[in-house]
Amino acid sequence: MAAVDLSAHPGHLARRLQQAHYLLWNVMVSEEITSPQFAVLNTLVDEPGLDQRTVGERVGLDRSTMSEVISRLGRRGLLDKVRDPQDGRRFLLRLTDEGVRTHRKLTVRTARMNQLFLAPLSAEEQALFFDLIRRVADAAEGLRNPPEPLGAQR
Instruction: Please write the tens of the pLDDT for every residue from 111-151.
Output: 999 999 999 999 999 999 999 999 998 888 777 666 676 66
Residue 8 lies in a domain: no
Residue 151 lies in a domain: no
User: What's 103's domain CATH number?
Assistant: 1.10.10.10
Residue 81 lies in a domain: yes
pLDDT recorded at residue 74: 97
pLDDT in tens, 1-17: 889 899 889 999 999 99
Using pLDDT thresholds of 50, 70 and 90, give the confidence band for residue 88. confident
Q: Which range is least confidently modeled, 33-37, 44-48, 110-114, 147-151?
A: 147-151
Domain that holds residue 96: 30-135
Using pLDDT thresholds of 50, 70 and 90, give the confidence band for residue 99. very high
Residue 114 lies in a domain: yes
Among residues 119, 134, 102, 105, the alpha carbon closest in space to that of 20 is found at 119
Residue 77 lies in a domain: yes
- Which residues, 6 or more positions from 132, have their beta carbon under 8 angstroms from its beta carbon? none
pLDDT in tens, 68-79: 999 999 999 999
Predicted structure pTM score? 0.85
Residue 4 lies in a domain: no
Residue 145 lies in a domain: no
Count up the domains in the chain and report the number.
1
Helix axes 52-59 and 63-75, enclosed angle (nearest 10): 110
Residue 56 lies in a domain: yes
Using pLDDT thresholds of 50, 70 and 90, give the confidence band for residue 152. low
| pLDDT value at 110 more than 60 | yes
Q: Are 58 and 81 in contact (CB under 8 A)?
A: no
pLDDT recorded at residue 153: 55
pLDDT recorded at residue 140: 83
pLDDT recorded at residue 116: 96
